[in-house]
Amino acid sequence: MKIKDILAEESMIMDLKATDKESAIKEMADLEVKTGIVNDEDAFIKSIWDREKEGTTGIGGGIAMPHARNKSINKARVLFAKSAKGIDYEALDGQPVNLFFMITAPDGADNTHLQALSKLASLLINPDLVEALKAAKTPAEVIKLFTDAENAKDEEDKKEAAKKEAAKADKSDKPLIVGVTACINGIAHTYMAEEALIKAGKKLGADVRIETNGSEGVKHKLTQDEINRSIGVVIASDKKVDMPRFDGKPLTNHPVVDGINKPEELVKTILDGNAPVYHNEGGASEAEAASSEKQGVWSVIYKHLMNGISHMLPFVIGGGILMAISFIVENYAGGAKAPAFIFLNSAGNLAFAFMVPVLSAYIAESIGDLPALMPGFVGGYMAAIVNGTNGLTVNVQPHSASPAGFLGGLAAGFIAGYLMVALKKAFAKLPKSVEGMKPMLIYPILGLLLIAAIMYYIVNPIFSGINLVITNFLNSMSGANLALLTAILAGMMSIDMGGPFNKAAYVFASGAFANNPKSATAAVLMAAVMVGGMVPPFATAIATAFFKNKFTADERRAGISNWVLGFSFITEGAIPFAAADPGHVLPSCIIGSAIGGALVGVWNVQVPAPHGGLWVSPLSNHILLFFLATIVGSIIAALILGLWKKPVKENA
């Protein structure tokens, strides 16, 4: 249906006399009756107002589209009306309405008014058409404007359809490789790996489609048709990936950093037919086995650990920052009885209470899939609590009043995961008639029984003692010893900027903070890793600003955004620089981070929050020293990088 088929010169008001919404509707309704479109004006006006009560049809931009469908209407029609001065029609943007499109359709019509609405809306997105309609003098000019705009849009739609057909033809000519990229924070690595793999595919003559699992959730989700048409799958992820959908496909499985650093190798593995076939049977596959052998034991452990940490971080960050704010309220706004303190501290503690159980649950789930989730959660919960706390009346720590804590939760996650793998193998040969009993009965009961026994009799007694020793050790640290530890932790944040060393340092500090959020030493460690993580983006931002001849134009542009990333404790902003020139960038940043971390230890700078960068500086006991440690470390790293790095040929 064309717009011109429901437009008519007789149904146009080129100079609306109405000055308000009510009189405008009445004036347009009068014309509808006069032209025979409407047979009962009162019923028609009532239906228009009923629709307005649901929500104004003044869509903004000077346009209103009142509409109705009922027995009082004889014919589908779009009445056009124009007001030079504009009318207050309660539009969404609060601005006066100049153009009115009153859409009518008889009761029982085949959604004519909805089709007209859709077409009008799609055409009126064009601001040039709207301005032309406001300037139109005659009904014939209005019809011509719509006809030309609709024809132009139809032509665009045809071209777009042709492009899609050409793209389909192109798909059949090139091999299709699908993949997934994901990292723990999902801020930089995920999308850098995506871009690198797509570029590698183009270079090697393949069409690469990547599903990203970043900070905003899953984007560009792969369809089953794409998976079916693909010749293989590339997984570049530090997190758990939805794997069963790739059953029967050649698959290569790597950490996300491999997707950034060696994308061509990953794509070529699929193109050359060297990737093992993935089989989603019993939770194991040739692809996973081959990947594990290639990556080594630590890489496999790291992937499972990152799956737990990625799910744990929101609890740590949200709960930790609220608790830190509550301490400020306690100190400066009424003490421990202040309602604000009680509210904030309770909310933070509730989030923190889930931290270790969530960590354990998702480590277990990464290893043993969904059946391992519940045993992992219970094991983590047993590690996190002390006798009688959190509403429990049972004794879960038989030999100690200290919880097994963060380390006990890590152990619980891995034990629960591999317990479930063992149970799956043990019951793999059960008759198919009782197959449904495994996930609904066997796995939950045996999984819970075994993990509870292991935690009660083995893990908790051992790790509660270890946790107590570590806590006492950290609390006893001061002076040079503390400065050495903070320098090491801060330096580790720059070694791989989001990789295993970076995450190990962060996990150590956040684990100490989780065990005792009020610990001064834990707060110093958190300040150190934050300074260490902020130095790389700040250093590259400073270096690109003051040593412009040492960086390309693209790097200088990237350096500008690193001011904000550095302030926000997003280390990954420096990754493009490190990837392009690791020999100069990494040593410079490690030195700067270590010096900044050492200053934190010497000055006893505390930040009782697990994330936030300089945004959470008001929580610090020494705000200026927190800033100063970051500035000194960043400037030293920038100077080393700028003086050491050679000039580039591209100066534009």
The set of catalytic residues is 67, 183
Report the distance separating Cα 421 and Cα 284, nearest Å. Answer: 9
Buried b (16+ CB within 10 A) or exposed e, 488-520: bbbbbbbbbbbbbbbbbbbbbbbbbbbbebebe
> What does the block give as tokens for 639?
């100077």
Report the distance separating Cα 415 and Cα 459, nearest Å. Answer: 10
The residue count of the chain comes to 652
180, β-bridge pairs? 211, 235
∠ CA 77-81-87, rounded to 5°: 135
3-state helix, strand, coil in the chain (%, to 5): 65, 10, 25
* Residue 457 DSSP class: I
Residue 231 C-beta-side C-alpha neighbours within 13 Å? 20
Closest CA to 543 of 567, 560, 519: 560
Phi, psi for 177 (deg, rounded to 5): -120, 130
Which residues have a Cβ under 8 Å from the Cβ of 477 and sit 6 or more positions away? Answer: 485, 521
Task: Output the CA–CA distances (angstroms, integers) from residue 2 to 10, 155, 293, in the order listed.
Answer: 18, 14, 63
Pinpoint the alpha helices (H) of 215-262: 224-229, 256-261
* Residue 223 DSSP class: P
Helix axes 41-54, 21-34, angle to 10 degrees: 140
* Residue 221 DSSP class: P
Closest CA to 56 of 86, 29, 92, 21: 92
Report the distance separating Cα 191 and Cα 285, nearest Å. Answer: 27
Amino acid 418 reads Y
32 within 8 A of 38, measured Cβ to Cβ: yes
Closest CA to 70 of 30, 112, 28: 112
> What does the block give as tokens for 490?
């801060």
518, β-bridge pairs? none
∠ CA 476-356-401, rounded to 5°: 55
Task: Output the CA–CA distances (angstroms, integers) from residue 542 to 493, 545, 565, in the order listed.
Answer: 19, 5, 13
Longest dimension (CA), the chain: 93
Report the distance separating Cα 538 and Cα 258, nearest Å. Answer: 25
81, β-bridge pairs? 13, 100
Phi, psi for 252 (deg, rounded to 5): -120, 130
Q: What is the CA radius of gyration of the chain?
A: 32
Three-class SS string for 95-113?
CCEEEEEEEEEECCCCCHH
The strand order across the sheet containing 251-254 reads: 217-219, 207-214, 176-182, 232-237, 251-254
Q: Taking the CA atoms of 31, 36, 37 and 41 in sequence, report the sign of the dihedral they define.
A: positive
